[in-house]
Structure 1
Amino acid sequence: MKKALFVYALALLALASCSKDADIENPKKEEVPDNIDHTDSKEWLSPLTVASYNIEFDTGGDNPWSNRKELVKRVFDKYTLDIAGVQEPSKKQLEDMLALMPQYGLVGTDVRGETTVENRLTVTIFYKKDRIEIEDWGTFWLSETPTEASRGWDAAQSRICTWAKARDKNTQKEFYFFSTHLDHVGTEARTKGAQLLLDTIPKITAGYPALLTGDFNSNQNTSYYKSMVSSANIKDTYTLTKNKINAVRGTFNYYDIDQSASTNYRIDHIFVTATPEVKINRWGIYTDVFPGGKYPSDHFPVIVDVSFLK
């Protein structure tokens, strides 16, 4: 397991990793279980604003990073994100984000566990320094050898999960936070990567509440997603609140808001460990398009407000 204060990188096969190749299955009519306690009398701590955000690597073309980086900052500022799982951006993009948003720190690594290579994908966790303290963090690989830099099963490239043990400075509540990015090509890699997450997270968290964020390259109708939510240990935050924004949209937009008009493209998710210690106050896909039809990324962020039990 390798650690480094910043992570960077973007894959030489970057174009191949675009989520437009994600596993999409035909949508079915969704039935959201009414498993929310509407007569909640528990005492809850002040909420955290949590996000999962795939920020596309710089491919140039019509949507170069130079046109997008200020827009990413505006999204972070507008929604006052406290902690966010961020997938994909290169070393240079991460450096630009930290320069534009000095109130944030980050932990993570590139998909090979290194910190100096320019052209690799990264999986990181951004956190607001005045709200969140990172007490520990690490990385594991979605492969047969999760403690070693490796490419698993039939994946097109190495895939990782970055985790952090965090403390809310306002409430002193400790929790774990995970950020991951499943492969866009390998079906076995998605199946076994999802199972590896389910097996590994409880070993790391040791009973603490945890949030799992990421680009899963799988919508809510796929077997990979269903294997996650069928576990007794994890729930999709989408199902845990009636207060939803853009509930019938997808997260992948491909720089065209009409692309996200179907939940077929809801491939970014925020899961939470199945515990009564966590309450989801709000869930949303935030579809900001800026003047001139400009987009910060080819994904929209998923943002939730989370409260922990006092």
Structure 2
Amino acid sequence: MTLDTISVFSLNIRFGLADDGPNAWRFRKAVFPALIEQYPSDFKAFQEVNNFQADDLAAMLPDYDHVGRRTPAPPFWQNNIIFYRRPWQCHHVDHFFLSPTPDIPSRFRKSRWPRQCTLAVFERKGRQVVCVNTHFDFNEEVQADSAAVILDRLDRLELNASTILTGDFNASPESRCHQVFIEGDPEAGTADGRRFRNAFEPPYPATHHGFSGARIGDHIDWILYRGDLRLNCAKVIYHTVDGRYPSDHFPLWAEFHWASSKG
């Protein structure tokens, strides 16, 4: 990692209260220090994080601060947490619900559960980047509406900063919500600079495997980006650590460089 690059790691960590037998969090957490060391990054975005998992991750990442945690949290609460290296300064944090009323705990009528998003503005050496981390529901209409909510919150920033969007979207790149991010809103005349690009290309690699390691599932976990960022490389991390998968999703990692020189 250098001042000329930005890297991001993203993973649905699989919530720690699940009855996963040998894949329970108390066993899986042992692989994370090695995984974190092998894939250093400026930002680490985790979805579906219970508070005790957040405590464990924070202990593993002493050089990082984080945003997106609700304390105290309701039972079974799942955070979308962004860890960031301390050379980055956080200037703004926005936590909201994917619903018609984002500022209060709520959900779309067709959403199975309340879904949330964490958004934060970071700066380092005069460079600003907006990081967004989320977890979508399963209904196609809800997913498209959730994408629109996120774009609206980004527009409210009135900030011409590059943006990285990570998460488990429970949808493939052929979905309506992906189209909303990539193509924008035709009725609103979304400018090219406001549209996102996917860090991965067709054939999109599988990202969910249910602890099987099979690479035949859909690409439902994404790293999207826009603005003054250009992709260096992106990968799905398929390997195990000491014979164990860190989650039922594969981790994603991407590195970018700035398209223009500072100043």
TM-score in same-fold range (> 0.5): yes
Other structure's SS at 1:183 match: coil
RMSD: 2.1
Q: What's the CA shift string for 1:30-81, capped at 9, x where partnerless?
A: xxxxxxxxxxxxxx95112112211011213221111111212222211112
Confirm whether residue 221 of structure 1 aligns to residue 174 of structure 2: yes
* SS of equivalent residue, structure 2 residue 74: coil
The DSSP-based 3-state class of the residue aligned with 2:179 is helix
CA contact (8 A) 1:252 1:299 kept: yes
Q: Could you report, residue by residue, the CA deviation over 1:217-262 in whole angstroms, capped at 9, with x for unpaired residues?
A: 101122222222111422223258xxx9xx652111211111xx23
Shift of 1:213: 0.9
Aligned to 2:110: 154
Q: Distance in 2 between matches of 1:104 and 1:70?
A: 19
Any idea what the Cα deviations from partners look like across 1:119-140, whole Å, max 9, x if unmatched? 21111111122x3221221211
Residue 122 (structure 1) aligned with residue 79 (structure 2) = yes
Match of 2:230 among 272, 276, 279: 279
Q: Which runs of 4+ in 1 moved over 6 A?
A: none
Tell me if 1:73 matches 2:73.
Answer: no
Q: Say if 2:208 is the partner of 1:252.
A: yes
Asked if the contact 1:45/1:307 (under 8 Å) is kept, the reply is no
Q: Deviations over 1:157-210 (max 9, x none)?
A: 111110111012xx33111111011113x3322121112222221222521111
SS of the residue corresponding to residue 93 of structure 1 reads helix
Matches within 5 A, 1:77-226: 77-110=37-70, 114-129=71-86, 131-168=87-124, 171-184=125-138, 186-204=139-157, 206-226=159-179
Aligned AA (1:306): F
Aligned match of 2:189: none
CA distance in 1, matches of 2:32, 2:72: 22
Q: Which amino acid aligns with 2:155?
A: P
User: Match for residue 11 of structure 1?
Assistant: none
Structure having greater relative contact order (Cα 8 Å, sep ≥ 6): 1
Residues 69/302 of structure 1: CA separation in 2 closer, same or farther (3 Å cut): same
Q: Is the 8 A contact 2:90 2:123 kept in 1?
A: yes
Give structure 1 stretches of 5+ with no counterpart: 1-43
Residues 155 and 133 from structure 1, CA distance in 2 versus in 1: closer, same or farther, beyond 3 angstroms?
Answer: same
Structure 2 Cα separation of the partners of residues 146 and 208 of structure 1: 22
Amino acid at match of 1:128: R
Q: State the alpha-carbon separation in 2 of the partners of residues 271 and 80 from structure 1.
A: 19
What secondary structure is seen at the aligned counterpart in 2 of 1:143? coil
- Give the CA deviation at 1:269: 0.7
Structure-1 residue corresponding to 2:249? 299
Q: Are the counterparts in 2 of residues 123 and 161 from structure 1 also a CA contact under 8 Å?
A: yes
Distance 1:229 1:253 in 2: 25
Q: 1-side partners of 2:90 and 2:117: how far apart?
A: 16
What is the alpha-carbon distance in structure 2 between the residues aligned to residue 172 and residue 72 of structure 1?
32
Does the CA contact (< 8 Å) of 2:34 and 2:241 recur in 1?
no
Quick check: 1:290 aligned with 2:241? yes
Following the alignment from structure 2 to structure 1, what is the Cα–Cα distance between the partners of residues 59 and 174?
39
For 2:35, what is the secondary structure of its paired residue?
helix
Q: Measure how far apart 1:116 and its partner are.
A: 3.6
Q: Where does the alignment leave 5 or more consecutive residues of structure 2 unmatched?
A: 185-191
Helix, strand or coil at the partner of 2:196: strand
Offset of 1:287 from its aligned partner?
1.1
Q: Secondary structure at the match of 1:177?
A: strand
CA distance in 1 between counterparts of 2:92 and 2:232 reads 27
Q: State which of 213, 223, 243 in structure 2 corresponds to 1:270.
A: 223
SS of 1:213's equivalent in the other structure is strand
**Paired AA for residue 26 in structure 2:** S
Partner-residue secondary structure (3-state), 2:68: strand
